[in-house]
Amino acid sequence: MLTLASASPRRQELLRNAGIEFEVLAVDIDESRRPDEPAVDFCQRLAREKAEAAFARLQHDAVRSQRPIVAADTIVVLDGDPNAADIVLGKPADKADARRMLQALSGREHRVMTGVCVMAPGGRSMQIEIETTAVFVVEISDAEIDDYVASGEPMDKAGAYAIQGRASRWIPRIEGCYFNVVGLPVARVFAMLKALRP
């Protein structure tokens, strides 16, 4: 049993489908990006801060504090250099923001990054890793974007799209882990959890 420091239904479904037992502990942190913070650092920092926030809430619980904690943060990065202050797309603030993001993604490649933090039972150690997947998007017309935004699907997704939903029609290929684009690189998480075992 582990603690998932996320309210994301997609992450929960991915863990459930993989047969990994968990309980959910949603945490609330400031997800603002620091000035000139590289995308990789930003993504990893948020994952770490989510894990730390979860542990802070559980540390006095004798049972739950002895479970590993998994926290993650997924971002969409334009312009391809993960070590520079690239354009980072989080969740859209409103429909206009979602439309702007989709127009920026149309007809180009982008990268989806998920920072994963696994904290060992009792908070005795933590691992932080990053998974990156290249995603290729065809040209999307303004009418298609408007229709998609009106569906409501983009509104709680990094980059304003769900690869497992209606947006799948515009993504002819990816390079890397599909589940990472959905929100959690399951194989990497499983490997990190296995590494905790003595």
Q: Looking at the predicted structure, is the pLDDT value of residue 96 above 90?
A: yes
Q: Domain locations in the chain?
A: 2-196
pLDDT number for residue 198: 62
- Mean pLDDT score, 5-32: 95
pLDDT per position as a tens digit, 106-155:
999 999 999 999 999 999 999 999 999 999 999 999 999 999 999 999 99
Catalytic residues: 73
Helix (H, G, I), strand (E, B) or coil at 72: strand
Q: Looking at the predicted structure, is the pLDDT value of residue 84 above 60?
A: no
pLDDT per position as a tens digit, 31-82:
999 998 989 999 999 999 999 999 999 988 888 889 999 999 999 998 755 5
Domain 2-196 has CATH 3.30.1490.190: no
Cβ–Cβ under 8 Å, residues 184 and 15: yes
Please give the full DSSP string across 118-165, using - where no structure is assigned. Answer: EEPGGGS-EEEEEEEEEEE-----HHHHHHHHHHTGGGGSGGG--TTT
pLDDT per position as a tens digit, 161-179:
999 999 999 999 999 999 9
